[in-house]
């Protein structure tokens, strides 16, 4: 099956071998794969916690785990998923691999810092993992004071150190991306020719650089408060526990956009390629990314509507939270308009993109419900909130992440994934997701509070539906794990440009050579111009 020509061709995977050539690599493509392994590990770890949560919630009584264990399960689910999977997921894997290639660069501006940032994620991850194995942490992923500083008898400090260190990984990735986009573009690659995936990762990097340091200093203050009792968040000394919430959400709300902006970038690429049209309103989509990055910093107060914040502050934050929906809506409408009269093919990445658009819209619209002061008071800390942010993070980010992985898999590995199985997995994920999380909207509206594992009997039907959906969803995530690995050996050899895409990353061989391009490309046309690639066969299946 493998021709000699393919065996002899040198690329980034076979130019050197051995454990050192990976652990000391400065190649952004290999570092992206290191990230891929790491975040996949944490995804399945977080998934294991989620499984136990859903098993517990099958029955109204707490009969699978104790109260304390349940607290630890949802905390560790959140910590693993948010800090060690969702935040690094798309930027550090797909972004790391493709951002330099899309702008025609040989590497990121600072390859050694790129490697350092992976090590920081691993070190932070090991701290968090130690905390989980040593007995777990039970504060919720939000670490609200004074519980986290005074009362919790669990591994708060070890987890906090892990998140602190991983935060610097995120900062360094963002710094690297910003400098790379500013200084490493190929000749002719002007700002208005940048692929939208680059734009959205650039906007993400701005948030990483501006927001994450605030989380870092908040963790330092939390650390000092818990260890030295310095009083910053302690009412006994005149400190204010709500100050912690302000500082925490100043990072953690923009962090939602760290998770979803790169996902939007993936969708822009995929929707354009598989409808063979330039993204409708390119500039609007690009600037919408920046608008989300800026406005995202001004809405954190909507997490404090019931936490002693003044009504007037609440009004302003409510208004701004509505405002941030505008750039998000621009994107959804523009993707839809891109499809209009497009030559659409239903390849797996496109199925994931369709899933994203639908689920992100539901997640975004329920976000507007929650931005409304009166309704928010009614559903604060209920499953309505849980369902809302899972529609954004799982229905949005993970859908796009899976779509992006399928889309770029041929370029990353040189192999095609099995299209039939992949389509099946996209369908299973979509159905399983909705079955898991839609009942939670109803549960929340009926008054089921989050973070409780004992509930009234009348909620059981909806909880059973949700748990059933979670098992379907698990199958949908395990399937790609199997066939991706399978494809590395048995998948069809991928051509340089299997989708007939126009980006620079498709103009070099699959997998790419060590320095991405044989010679630095010169860009003469706008992004998503398919006139020169029309006629190439799109290989589906």
Partner 1 sequence: MASETQAHAHQESLALREQFDTAAQQKDASTLGMWIFLITEIMFFGGMFLAYTVYRHLYSHVFAVASSSLNVYIGAANTVVLLCSSLTMVLAVRAAQLSQKKAIVLFLVLTLLLGGVFLGVKAYEWNEKFVEHHVPGASFHFEDLPASDQGHAQLFFSLYFAMTGLHALHMVIGAGLLCYLVFEARKGRYSAEYNTPVDLIGLYWHFVDIIWIFLFPLLYLIDRHLGR
Contact positions vs partner 1 (CB under 8 A): 105-111, 113, 171, 175-176, 178-179, 182-185, 187, 209-214, 216-218, 220-221, 224, 228-232, 236-240, 243, 246-247, 515, 520
Q: Which is nearer to partner 1, 105 or 286 (CB)?
A: 105
User: What does the block give as tokens for 276?
Assistant: 């063979």
CA dihedral sign of residues 144, 150, 155, 161: positive
Q: Which is nearer to partner 1, 167 or 396 (CB)?
A: 167
Which residues make Cβ contacts (< 8 Å) with residue 299, sequence separation at least 6? 253, 317, 320, 321, 324
Going from the C-alpha of 175 to that of each of 179, 201, 209, the distances in angstroms are 6, 11, 6
The CA angle 210-265-192, to the nearest 5 degrees, is: 85
Q: Which is nearer to partner 1, 87 or 429 (CB)?
A: 87
- Taking the complex as a whole, the smallest distance from the CB of residue 464 to partner 1 amounts, in Å, to 44
Q: Which is nearer to partner 1, 55 or 210 (CB)?
A: 210
Which residues make Cβ contacts (< 8 Å) with residue 529, sequence separation at least 6? 278, 502
Q: Which is nearer to partner 1, 63 or 520 (CB)?
A: 520
Q: Which is nearer to partner 1, 382 or 516 (CB)?
A: 516
d(CA 423, CA 483) in angstroms, rounded, equals: 12
- Taking the complex as a whole, the smallest distance from the CB of residue 258 to partner 1 amounts, in Å, to 14
CA dihedral sign of residues 439, 444, 450, 454: negative
Q: Which is nearer to partner 1, 42 or 251 (CB)?
A: 251
- Taking the complex as a whole, the smallest distance from the CB of residue 50 to partner 1 amounts, in Å, to 31
For residue 306, count other CB atoms closer than 10 A to its CB: 12
- Taking the complex as a whole, the smallest distance from the CB of residue 512 to partner 1 amounts, in Å, to 14
Q: Which is nearer to partner 1, 169 or 466 (CB)?
A: 169
Q: Across-strand partners of 144?
A: none
Question: Taking a C-beta distance cutoff of 8 angstroms, is the pair 396, 362 a contact?
Answer: no
Q: Report the 3 state secondary structure along 171-237.
A: HHHHHHHHHHHHHCCCCCCCHHHCCHHHHHHHHHHHHHHHHHHHHHHHHHHHHHHHHHCCCCCCHHH
- Taking the complex as a whole, the smallest distance from the CB of residue 336 to partner 1 amounts, in Å, to 35
- Taking the complex as a whole, the smallest distance from the CB of residue 158 to partner 1 amounts, in Å, to 21
- Taking the complex as a whole, the smallest distance from the CB of residue 520 to partner 1 amounts, in Å, to 8
Q: Which is nearer to partner 1, 184 or 424 (CB)?
A: 184
CA dihedral sign of residues 21, 23, 25, 31: positive
Closest to 99 (Cα-Cα) out of 26, 33, 180, 215: 180
- Taking the complex as a whole, the smallest distance from the CB of residue 241 to partner 1 amounts, in Å, to 12
- Taking the complex as a whole, the smallest distance from the CB of residue 214 to partner 1 amounts, in Å, to 5
């Amino acid at each position: 099956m493998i021709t000699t020509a393919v065996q002899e061709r040198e690329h980034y995977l076979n130019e050197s071998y051995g454990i050192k050539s990976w652990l000391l690599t400065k190649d952004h493509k290999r570092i992206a794969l290191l990230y891929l392994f790491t975040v996949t590990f944490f995804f399945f770890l977080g998934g294991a916690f989620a499984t136990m949560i859903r098993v517990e919630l099958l029955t109204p009584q707490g009969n699978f785990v104790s109260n304390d264990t349940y607290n630890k399960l949802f905390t560790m689910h959140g910590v693993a998923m948010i800090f060690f999977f969702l935040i690094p997921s798309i930027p550090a894997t797909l972004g790391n691999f493709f951002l330099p290639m899309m702008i025609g660069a040989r590497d990121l501006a600072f390859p050694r810092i790129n490697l350092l940032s992976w090590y920081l994620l691993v070190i932070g991850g090991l701290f968090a993992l130690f905390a989980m194995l040593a007995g777990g942490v039970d504060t919720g992923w939000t670490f609200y004071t004074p519980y986290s500083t005074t009362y919790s008898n669990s591994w708060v400090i070890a987890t906090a150190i892990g998140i602190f260190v991983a935060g610097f990984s995120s900062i360094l990735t963002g710094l690297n991306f910003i400098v790379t986009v500013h200084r490493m573009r190929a000749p002719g690659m002007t700002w208005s020719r940048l692929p939208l995936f680059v734009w959205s990762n650039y906007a993400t990097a701005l948030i990483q650089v501006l927001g994450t340091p605030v989380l870092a200093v908040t963790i330092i203050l939390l650390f000092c408060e818990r260890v030295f009792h310095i009083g910053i968040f302690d009412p006994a000394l005149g400190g204010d526990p709500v100050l912690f919430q302000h500082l925490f959400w100043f990072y953690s709300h923009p962090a939602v956009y760290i998770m979803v902006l790169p996902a939007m970038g993936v969708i822009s690429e995929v929707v354009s390629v598989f409808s063979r049209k330039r993204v409708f309103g390119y500039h609007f989509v690009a600037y919408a990314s920046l608008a989300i990055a800026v406005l995202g910093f001004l809405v954190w107060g909507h997490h404090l509507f019931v936490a002693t914040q003044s009504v007037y502050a609440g009004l302003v934050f409510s208004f701004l939270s509505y405002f941030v929906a505008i750039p998000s809506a621009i994107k959804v409408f523009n993707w839809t308009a891109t499809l209009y009269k497009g030559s659409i093919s239903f390849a797996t990445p496109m199925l994931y993109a369709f899933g994203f658009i639908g689920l992100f819209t539901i997640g975004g619209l329920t976000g507007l419900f929650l931005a409304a002061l009166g309704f928010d008071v009614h559903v604060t800390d209920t499953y309505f909130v849980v369902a809302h942010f899972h529609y954004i993070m799982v229905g949005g980010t993970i859908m796009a992440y899976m779509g992006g992985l399928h889309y770029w898999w041929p370029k990353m590995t040189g192999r095609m994934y099995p299209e039939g199985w992949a389509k099946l997995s996209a369908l299973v994920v979509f159905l399983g997701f909705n079955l898991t999380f839609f009942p939670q909207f109803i549960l929340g509206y009926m008054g089921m509070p989050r973070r409780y594992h004992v509930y009234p009997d009348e909620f059981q039907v909806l909880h059973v539906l949700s748990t059933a959906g979670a098992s379907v969803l698990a199958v949908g995530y395990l399937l790609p794990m199997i066939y991706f690995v399978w494809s590395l050996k048995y998948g069809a050899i991928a051509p340089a440009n299997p989708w007939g895409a126009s980006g620079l990353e498709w103009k070099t061989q699959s997998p790419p050579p060590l320095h991405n391009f044989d010679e630095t490309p010169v860009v003469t046309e706008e992004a998503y111009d398919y006139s020169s690639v029309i006629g190439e066969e799109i290989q589906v299946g």
